[in-house]
Structure 1
Amino acid sequence: MLGLTNRILHVQQASNPSKYDEDKQRLAGRQAEDHIENLLKELGGIPNCNIFRSLRVPDEFQTRRHEIDLIVLTNYGLYCIEVKNWAGKLISCKNGDFWEQRKTVTKENKTFSQQTQYPNPLSESKKKTNILRLHLLRSGVCLPDSKCTSRVVLTNKSCKVDDTIKNDPTVIRYENLHIFATSFQQSYSTILTDMVVPSFFRGTLSSTQLQQIRGSLGQIGTWDVLQLNGGKKLIGDYKGCPEISVNRKEVNQMVFSHSRNSTTGTFWAVLGYSPTTCVTMYKREQTSWFAKEIVASVTLPYNHNIGFKIAGDTTEAKISANDIDTIFFST
């Protein structure tokens, strides 16, 4: 009888999972990156194949990876773009190593001023851009400094900046977003010139170089994304569990199917069964237009733990399978 009682308790827990709402600040940050990407495509005419999101570029000794929000490839070189959705007033500190954000915050019906210092994003962006250039060099793609440009884009309409930041040409403020995106457009005369004049004389990258750069950037990994019940997304590295073996080159997502019906679950509990979760792995490159191709499926106890190292955390999180909707894998 004790076993039946325990199984019914497990059914109740499986049927009523915790709900995790998306963090508003993180969501706003991702939406800001989406907005900049869309502007570059719509106003700048940048094709999908020349825009890369959230690449994690390894340093010289492969000891650390540095994330770049957006990388844009053009005939004239690479643009590494850091997107900041900061609100309030931004002030460059005296030594230039930090920016200070000053904003008014309301919490529990109380309003107060908040000051936060961040490492200078201009310096950080330039550092990451150089790390990317050196990584490409190790991959056999040689680009001079002049072909690798860094930009910091401020997307929040309410953001105000001091004169030091305002006068820096590498900072793109909200009111200049459309001008920045439009600057990537190619005129008809340029397109015609590109067709007849060799790239060496135009000072642009050759089609071979562009293809090599795309190939190298395509080999750089991004983050894995774990989506929880309720919509919250965790960014980090999937660590998994012994029962599931994932080939990243073959699998692009893993979907968790749950038993949420308490009546059905209770029926099976009486028959001696405990709640389970079915994990289905889907193929990265689809060969069918009508259905996703399944690579494999595994059945786990509903409360089985899945290892996931969240970006910024030093320890690996153990997340119940019952709380997971989907895991998307980077390359």
Structure 2
Amino acid sequence: MWVEILCGLLAYKIIRRVFFADSDDPAHLADLDSAHSDLCFALASRLEKLYSARCFVGLRIPDPDAGERQHVDLVLLTNREVMVVAIHNISGFVEVDKDGNWTCPSDKKNKHGVIPNPVLQVNRLAANLQSYLEKRGAKLPDGHITGKIVLPNPNCRPSYAITLQPEVILYDQWKDLKADSKGGLSTWIKGAFSGSKGDMQDSLLQNLHFILSTSPMWDRLELKGDRNILGEFIEFKGRHDDIQALKCLKRSKVCRFIVQKSTLFGGFGNFSALYLLVILFAKHSCERRSRVQILYSPRDYRAEGTSSSEWKEISVKQYTEILFQPLHSKKVKKFKLSSVASVTLSA
């Protein structure tokens, strides 16, 4: 019995090294910084749960002055307001100069990083978003759209002048944030607004939801291990047959696809050395099981979700790669499908 088990383990290692080497090795992703994107989605998830609201991460709103699209970390839509959220995950002592710029410790020794006037920037983003919404037919009442800056790092030590700015949400405030029974934001956030706001009409809310859902935004690459990357999906790279099969995954037709890996020993019943040795010498069987399944759903702007019956499937080699350019990066990176959990494509 022990001989059979040892032979089985040895055969398994040989098969894994020969046919599945580095398929799940995260070493090639070690230099990939996903901290900011992960934080954006984590904050969005918490806000959605607290307020039964909808968050939109990674919008790209046109800026008439700059002549290009501006990145927005997060937009929160409740039944009472629209909030543009900028997230600054900074630590250490943070000071503000006479021009409103923030200075904080940087990675470089004895040097400080400078963040150009975050309050001015987030208010400008809110104004651009309001202008964009109006151009698409959604005019918001006065005071129903604003900008906020979240400082979620517990090691951030902002100066007193920064804490007095109504746009800034400190770590302690964020940590103690609680749901408001009226569906808006909690009292300490609402205090920054002038006057009182009532609920928006259902027709306006539906229009806002549709506009924000169909607005330009970054693609989302979700890696195994709960890592998220915002950026732009470029294309697939791999064998000709696989690329031909993947041609249907166009952003104009597909909104999201999920990658599922086949199990190495699925369908072989009880584990034994005999089966392992059979697999070792049955190359065709090994190649078949080195494939991944891609589940994708057709793009439908009218639907909130996709039913299980609407998902379609493609099977390709697990070494097929995705070319993806992360946000704020000039280089296009390659990701093996075996390391990818899902990809969400913007319209």
Taking structure 2 as the reference length, the TM-score comes to: 0.68
Give the distance between the partners of 1:75 and 1:330, measured in 2 at CA. 24
1:121 aligns with 2:118: yes
Within the candidate set 260, 278, 286, 2:292 is matched to 278
- Equivalent in the alignment of 2:21: 15
Within the candidate set 309, 316, 321, 1:305 is matched to 321
Kept after mapping to 1: 8 A contact 2:102/2:116: yes
- Alpha-carbon offset, residue 150 of structure 1: 0.7
SS of residue in 2 equivalent to 1:51 = strand
SS of residue in 2 equivalent to 1:15 = coil
- Alpha-carbon offset, residue 323 of structure 1: 4.2
Give the distance between the partners of 1:62 and 1:299, measured in 2 at CA. 42
Q: Equivalent residues in 2 for 1:24-43 (5 A)?
A: 26-27=34-35, 30-31=38-39, 34-35=42-43, 37-38=45-46, 41-42=49-50
1:186 aligns with 2:172: no
Q: Equivalent residues in 2 for 1:15-94 (5 A)?
A: 15-17=21-23, 18-20=25-27, 26-27=34-35, 30-31=38-39, 34-35=42-43, 37-38=45-46, 41-42=49-50, 46-48=51-53, 50-60=54-64, 64-94=68-98
Residue type at the aligned position of 2:297: K
Within the candidate set 201, 212, 215, 1:220 is matched to 215
The count of corresponding residues between Structure 1 and Structure 2 is: 295
Give the distance between the partners of 2:306 and 2:291, measured in 1 at CA. 25
1:99 aligns with 2:105: no
SS of residue in 2 equivalent to 1:146 = coil
- Alpha-carbon offset, residue 209 of structure 1: 1.6
Residue type at the aligned position of 2:58: S
Give the distance between the partners of 1:305 and 1:14, measured in 2 at CA. 15
* Larger strand percent: 1
Residue type at the aligned position of 2:18: Q
My pick for the range that moved more, 166-175 or 309-318, is 309-318
- Alpha-carbon offset, residue 123 of structure 1: 1.8
1:253 aligns with 2:241: no
Residue type at the aligned position of 2:46: N
Give the distance between the partners of 1:326 and 1:270, measured in 2 at CA. 27
Residue type at the aligned position of 2:202: S
Kept after mapping to 2: 8 A contact 1:32/1:85: no
Give the distance between the partners of 2:65 and 2:278, measured in 1 at CA. 54
Residue type at the aligned position of 1:130: A
Kept after mapping to 2: 8 A contact 1:268/1:274: no
Distance change (3 Å), C-alpha of 1:127 and 1:51: same
Distance change (3 Å), C-alpha of 1:41 and 1:296: closer
Taking structure 1 as the reference length, the TM-score comes to: 0.71
Q: Equivalent residues in 2 for 1:133-152 (5 A)?
A: 133-143=130-140, 146-152=143-149
Structure 1: unaligned runs, 5 residues or longer? 1-7, 106-111, 188-200
- Equivalent in the alignment of 1:210: 205
Give the distance between the partners of 1:33 and 1:322, measured in 2 at CA. 22
Kept after mapping to 1: 8 A contact 2:38/2:229: no
Kept after mapping to 1: 8 A contact 2:93/2:104: yes
Q: Deviations over 1:93-142 (max 9, x none)?
A: 3322x21112799xxxxxx6552222222122112112211111121112
Distance change (3 Å), C-alpha of 1:283 and 1:62: farther
Structure 2: unaligned runs, 5 residues or longer? 1-13, 184-195, 237-242, 266-275, 299-304
- Alpha-carbon offset, residue 211 of structure 1: 1.9
Distance change (3 Å), C-alpha of 1:113 and 1:258: farther
Q: Deviations over 1:245-288 (max 9, x none)?
A: 21445452231526768977753448996985334123264334
